[in-house]
Amino acid sequence: MTLDQLRIASRRSQLAMVQTNWVRDELQKAHPDLAITIEAMATQGDKILDVALAKIGDKGLFTKELEAQMLLGHAEIAVHSLKDLPTNLPEGLILGCITQREDPSDALVVNEKNRIHQLETLPEGSVVGTSSLRRLAQLRYHYPHLVFKDVRGNVITRLEKLDSGVYDCLILAAAGLQRLGFANRIHQLIPTDISLHAVGQGALGIECVSGQQEVLDILKTLEHESTSKRCLAERSFLRELEGGCQVPIGVRTEINNDELILEGMVASLDGKRLIRDIKKGSVSSAEEIGIDLANELKGLGAGEILEEIFKSARA
């Protein structure tokens, strides 16, 4: 029996809808006879905007409601920013496809008065807005003279707060700005020697119910092999470290011919300790490379940092 309808679960946020509409349109081009609809909803992470992400709770803040729709049979797939998708998925669900990655860099966006500055020249006491502990820890490590303030809300809301003077600058994902048409607001792409990006940043992950081969066959048209290998290495690194959005963990990956290079970082919340290293290996062993690098970082002291973070979270 051929699948004739595909229902896509998505967050309602503007960025999520841009991403989901792109997935729908690409699938429609490849499968013109398939009826594709979008089921949009708000997630817990979208509803709670007055509390820092790290303080709200566990992983899956932006995915649980979408996953419930699939498990209840109300949707066949869900589109996520891959960086928001936990590395351990609920029973019955799988990561069916990873799309071609946009630029995974973190980006500096500035208030007009700071256009003469780069990140490294911002005046002492400049207020930097970010909701990511990963960005926060790395920037604290390199620029302890700056002031960091949590920022929530969608990208447009954050930009409005920046332009009104609440912040001197923001750190946002370059890919999100580009997808929303705000590439002109990118003042500086932050070098990876300063800020390693989030696991999966810049790629979309399409989650689906396990055992539905027809759905997987449909999604094959969107799968990007090199992005998938890079992101699987990153996700296995994160999984082995048992980290989520509340843990400062960053990565960088590249593929040269048949070699995959993974760089990983773990930092303390205060940014005073930062451990990073690189692991290389065959592209065919992507997930093993991630596991090996995680264990190496644990041996270099990352294990103690993570245990401190987990203890404080349980307290």
Q: Which tens digits make up the pLDDT trace of 254-263?
A: 999 999 999 9
Average pLDDT over residues 41-58: 52
- For 194-220, the pLDDT digits (tens) are 999 999 999 999 999 999 999 999 999
152: confidence class by pLDDT, cuts 50, 70, 90: confident
Are 76 and 96 within 8 A, CB to CB?
no
pLDDT at residue 56 in the model: 41
Degrees to nearest 5, angle at CA 96 with 99 and 245: 75
Report CA dihedral (115, 50, 196, 205) to the nearest 10 degrees: -120
CA 170, distance to chain mean position in Å, is 17
Which amino acid makes up residue 159?
Answer: L
The residue annotated as part of the active site, out of 33, 46, 84, 270, is 84
User: Measured on CA atoms in the order 75, 67, 131, 109, is the torsion positive or negative?
Assistant: negative
pLDDT at residue 242 in the model: 81
Report the predicted TM-score, pTM, of the whole model to 2 decimal places: 0.91
Domains along the sequence of the chain with CATH: 1-99+202-223 (3.40.190.10), 106-189 (3.40.190.10), 224-315 (3.30.160.40)
Q: Is the pLDDT of residue 177 over 70?
A: yes
CA distance 142 to 195: 9
Please indicate whether residue 163 is annotated as part of the active site.
no
- For 125-134, the pLDDT digits (tens) are 999 999 899 9
63: confidence class by pLDDT, cuts 50, 70, 90: confident
pLDDT at residue 315 in the model: 65
pLDDT at residue 49 in the model: 44
- 20-29, 121-130, 149-158, 249-258 — which is least confidently predicted? 149-158
> H/E element holding 239?
helix 225-241
Strand pairing category for 35-41 and 188-189: unpaired
What is the end-to-end Cα distance of the chain in Å, rounded?
A: 53
pLDDT at residue 60 in the model: 60
